């Protein structure tokens, strides 16, 4: 099933590649010891290196390199033991050095791949071209003063991983699924927090269109899109614009564009610069970056379980592929599920997490990171069902009380006297009372109206305030009617 956009003159295929800038999770910057915490007072996390003072020398942060290698391993990519930093020269007020230290011809990570999951349950592999390390620039603030611009250098020098994909995506949905999966992998690895609203992940979206069977046509790059939804919208808006240009007999020019989120259209920003415009050359202040295979192996051995592996493990535990997918989307959800499922029926645990817990989170506007019911408590609740203390119906009641009070299921069961009655003798006595009170119905039942069986069960449960063990109640009714 392939996705096309219908133009005036027939269907068009969309071609999308993404360049994602992901901020490396690290305490210090790529080439300085300044801190990287989000939301700090402007210009409070700036070293002389970050401010471009003359004579200051960059020194590489080993942890940032390790994070890039971990990410490369998570993307099943080639790790280059020899890579090099280049200067990308351009002038901007928030770039005090007058150049960005980046990796151009020799990135630290080469080709890899990501498997994306689509809504119809199918999967697709998207190629990774490369991942390189580079510095972030500072931030210009134009809206703080009527006639002045301010500059905040806190971001200046922060380590970024630029992750470039192959032009393998063919629809807005695939672009969204790619970004979702990439963010998921980075979060599992702990190499980027993936908070797009804080600018930790930004996507440059390369879009072109073509007729089926054609080679690539000219692409345009939509810069700095900061949410998955906007990426999907930008892909469609830019593709529609290009289709119109081609269909009117025009030519799409290679350029950099911006996505206007309010109007849902892309606008021209500047004609596309070529690499030679940046006058890239090896940074003379930095030797080539050489890492050891043994160090890479050590990082590989300590990688956490990744989303694809975890999903496969959940399926092996008996979950459906869909449940496994949902439970592994966020690693916090997976951790919660595992606590509930440990030593218990995985399917039952999954049903409670995806059903009652998710509903309670929505209702109480909480999150899986700060859940309305502790995972340990939900596990205990399942045990109380398993050992017959609670029926399914009573368990739902206890769960709601847990959401309300935050107390343990044991405390709630005791406090509210919700313990299920499993004493067969006691149940039979109540069934006998029910039959005694409904002699007319007993006679009807005996003359063939077998549907009344459910009535007797219902009356017994009602008399027991829902606390009778359903199997035992059924058994007792059958026995006393027989
Ligand atoms: Mn870049």
How is residue 257 written in tokens? 């564009």
Which burial class, exposed, middle or buried, applies to 210 when counting CB atoms under 10 A from its CB (0-12, 13-18, 19+)? middle
What's the gap in Å between 420 CA and the centre of ligand 1? 62
Residue 277: its pLDDT value, please?
87
What's the gap in Å between 26 CA and the centre of ligand 1? 18
What's the gap in Å between 214 CA and the centre of ligand 1? 29
What's the gap in Å between 458 CA and the centre of ligand 1? 68
Residue 136: its pLDDT value, please?
97
CA distance 214 to 206: 18
What's the gap in Å between 133 CA and the centre of ligand 1? 9
What's the gap in Å between 275 CA and the centre of ligand 1? 12
State the CB neighbour count (10 A cutoff) for residue 208: 21
Residue 409: its pLDDT value, please?
93
Size of the chain, expressed as the number of residues it contains: 482
What's the gap in Å between 148 CA and the centre of ligand 1? 27
What's the gap in Å between 140 CA and the centre of ligand 1? 17
State the CB neighbour count (10 A cutoff) for residue 307: 23
**Whole-structure pTM value:** 0.85
Residue 154: its pLDDT value, please?
97
Residue 121: its pLDDT value, please?
84
What's the gap in Å between 97 CA and the centre of ligand 1? 16
What's the gap in Å between 203 CA and the centre of ligand 1? 10
Residue 272: its pLDDT value, please?
67
CA distance 238 to 138: 28
What's the gap in Å between 32 CA and the centre of ligand 1? 19
What's the gap in Å between 124 CA and the centre of ligand 1? 26
Angle 313-317-318 from CA coordinates, rounded to 5°:
125
How many CA atoms lie less than 13 Å away from 256 in the CB half-sphere? 11
What's the gap in Å between 21 CA and the centre of ligand 1? 6
Q: For the chain, which residues score pLDDT lower than 70?
A: 1, 272-273, 275
H or E element at residue 445: helix 439-446
Indicate the domain borders of the chain. Answer: 4-297, 305-416, 424-481
CA distance 73 to 82: 16
What's the gap in Å between 85 CA and the centre of ligand 1? 13
CA distance 228 to 239: 17
What's the gap in Å between 289 CA and the centre of ligand 1? 18
What's the gap in Å between 48 CA and the centre of ligand 1? 22
What's the gap in Å between 56 CA and the centre of ligand 1? 23
Return the CATH number of the domain spanning residue range 424-481: 1.10.10.410
Closest CA to 476 of 411, 417, 424, 422: 424
What b/e string do you get for 268-290 counting C-beta neighbours within 10 Å, with b at 16 or more?
A: eeeeeeeeeebebeebeebeebe
CA distance 416 to 414: 6
What's the gap in Å between 160 CA and the centre of ligand 1? 8
How is residue 121 written in tokens? 């349950």
Q: What's the gap between Cα 440 and its chain centre?
A: 61
What's the gap in Å between 29 CA and the centre of ligand 1? 16
What's the gap in Å between 7 CA and the centre of ligand 1? 33
Residue 275: its pLDDT value, please?
67
What's the gap in Å between 132 CA and the centre of ligand 1? 8
Closest CA to 478 of 427, 440, 437, 438: 427
Cβ pair 377, 409 in contact under 8 A:
yes
CA dihedral 62, 68, 73, 74 (to 10 degrees): 130
What's the gap in Å between 102 CA and the centre of ligand 1? 7
Closest CA to 332 of 194, 141, 173: 194
How is residue 217 written in tokens? 């046509």
What's the gap in Å between 199 CA and the centre of ligand 1? 14
- H helices present in 138-191, as ranges: 172-189
């Amino acid at each position: 099933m392939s996705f096309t956009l219908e133009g005036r003159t027939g269907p068009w295929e969309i071609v999308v590649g993404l360049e994602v800038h992901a901020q490396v999770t690290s305490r210090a910057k790529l080439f300085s010891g300044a801190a990287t915490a989000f939301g700090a007072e402007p210009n409070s996390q700036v070293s002389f290196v970050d401010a471009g003072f003359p004579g200051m020398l960059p020194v590489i942060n080993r942890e940032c390199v390790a994070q890039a290698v971990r990410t490369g391993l998570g993307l099943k990519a080639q790790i280059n033991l020899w890579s090099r930093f280049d200067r990308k020269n351009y002038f901007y007020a928030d770039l005090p050095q007058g150049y960005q230290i980046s990796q151009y011809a020799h990135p630290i990570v080469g080709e890899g791949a990501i498997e994306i999951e689509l809504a119809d349950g199918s999967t697709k592999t998207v190629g990774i071209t490369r991942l390189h390390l580079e510095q972030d620039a500072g931030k210009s603030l134009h809206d703080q003063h009527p006639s002045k611009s301010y500059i905040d250098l806190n971001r200046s020098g922060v380590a970024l991983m630029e992750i470039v994909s192959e032009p393998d995506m063919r629809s807005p949905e695939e672009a969204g699924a790619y970004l979702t999966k990439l963010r998921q992998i980075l979060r599992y690895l702990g190499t980027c927090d993936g908070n797009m609203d804080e600018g930790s992940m930004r996507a440059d979206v390369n879009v072109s269109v073509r007729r089926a069977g054609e080679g690539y046509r000219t692409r345009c790059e939509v810069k700095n899109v900061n949410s998955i939804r906007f990426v999907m919208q930008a892909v469609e808006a830019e593709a529609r614009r290009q289709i119109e240009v081609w269909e009117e007999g025009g030519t799409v020019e290679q350029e950099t564009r911006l996505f206007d989120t309010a109007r849902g259209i892309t606008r021209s920003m500047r004609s596309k610069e070529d690499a030679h415009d940046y006058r890239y050359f090896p940074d003379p202040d930095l030797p080539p970056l050489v890492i050891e295979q043994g160090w890479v192996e050590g990082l590989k051995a300590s990688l956490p379980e990744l989303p694809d592996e975890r999903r496969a493990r959940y399926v092996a535990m008996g979950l459906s592929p869909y449940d496994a997918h949902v439970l592994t989307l966020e690693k916090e959800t997976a951790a919660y599920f595992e606590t509930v499922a440990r030593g218990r029926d995985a399917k039952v645990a999954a049903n409670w997490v995806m059903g009652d817990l998710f509903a309670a989170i929505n209702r109480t506007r909480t999150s899986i990171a700060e859940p309305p019911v502790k995972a340990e408590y939900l596990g205990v609740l399942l045990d109380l069902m398993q050992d017959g203390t609670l029926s399914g119906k009573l368990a739902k009641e206890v769960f709601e009380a847990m959401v309300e009070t935050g107390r343990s299921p044991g405390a709630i069961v005791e406090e509210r006297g919700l313990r299920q009655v499993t004493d067969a003798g006691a149940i039979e006595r109540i069934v006998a009372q029910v039959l005694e009170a409904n002699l007319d119905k007993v006679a009807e039942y005996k003359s063939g109206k077998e549907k009344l069986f459910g009535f007797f069960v219902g009356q017994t449960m009602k008399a027991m305030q829902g606390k009778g063990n359903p199997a035992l109640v059924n058994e007792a009714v059958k026995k006393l009617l027989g």
